[in-house]
Amino acid sequence: MSSEKRFGGHAHKKHRGARELQVGAQGVLVTCNMNERKCTSEAFSLLNEYADALYGPEQVSSMMSDNLSEDEEDDEDAEAALKKEVSQIQSSMKTHQQRFSAVDSGAHNVVFIRTHGVDPEQLVHHILSDLYQTKKKKSRVILRMLPVSGTCKAFPEDMEKFLSVFLERWFRAPLRATYQICFKARNSSHSKREEVIKAVAGLVGKLNPLNKVDLTNPELSIIIEIIKTVCCVSVLKDYTLFRKYNLQEVAKEPDNQNTDISGESDS
């Protein structure tokens, strides 16, 4: 069976801007029911708070301070020194990538925060673990925070090629695990849920026949979120325990948790 048949759909090319979600990005998919601006602000606040705890405060490039010390040794007039300083500051800003940056996700009520120099799965799991243990509510409008460890084009042949390699880290023999596949498509009609799930399960089975589906309490959850023509993928642990990575629900006491924990309508 061809990869296109198993994954469903046909390819369509579309020009994308630099500030839109693109193939190759890593980051965090953040969902809300309203107020994307507030959602983005909350996401930056949470991510920076916990990233500082995990990785230390974000470091600004030392290029500027190093070059400024050289200026003190140079015998230059004030105007030339000022021009050089401005040039160095501009150069430093261009070469320094921020730890987090927001891009257009391409879907309503979905914010994508691109990450640089951090592991999105590790970071978001750390956030959910803390909220689960402390039961502290740290957001008002954010529903879910889903790490995105890899992205590819959301077309059959691209998904098969990418996932066959991407999933090796968790499922290739001698590694084995129980798992479930969670699929959602936004602003995309070319990928059918049943076909994608069946195809991904086939890839996992090829990596190790001892990998088994468990829809009740799996060790790992394969998350596939398609937005337009970009497929976002991650493999998460504690997905059931952390209430589908829902920040509102994971902070509640067990007796107050809702049955529908995604906070989103199915597609």
pLDDT tens digit sequence for 195-230: 999 999 999 999 999 999 999 999 999 999 999 999
**What's the rounded Cα separation, in Å, for the pair 31 and 120?**
16
3-state secondary structure of 247: helix
**Could you tell me the domains of the chain?**
3-8+21-56+100-256 (3.30.2300.10), 63-95 (no CATH)
Share of the chain above pLDDT 70, in %: 75
Q: What is the pLDDT of residues 188-197, one digit of tens each?
A: 987 889 999 9
- At residue 6, φ and ψ (nearest 5 deg) are -75, -30
3-state secondary structure of 243: helix
Is residue 141 pLDDT above 80, yes or no?
yes
Which residue in 129, 167, 159, 134 sits closest to 145, CA to CA? 129
Share of the chain above pLDDT 90, in %: 69
pLDDT on residue 11: 41
Task: State which H helix or E strand residue 98 sits in.
Answer: none
Q: What is the pLDDT of residues 12-51, one digit of tens each?
A: 444 444 489 999 999 999 999 989 999 999 999 999 999 9
Tell the residue number behind the tokens 């030339």, with chain if given.
80
The pair of structure tokens assigned to 212 is 């088994």
Q: What is the pLDDT of residues 239-267, one digit of tens each?
A: 999 999 999 999 998 877 676 555 564 44
**Cis omega before residue 156 (within 30°)?**
no
**What's the rounded Cα separation, in Å, for the pair 222 and 236?**
7
Q: Is the dihedral of CA 251, 252, 258, 263 positive or negative?
A: negative
Is residue 171 pLDDT above 90, yes or no?
yes
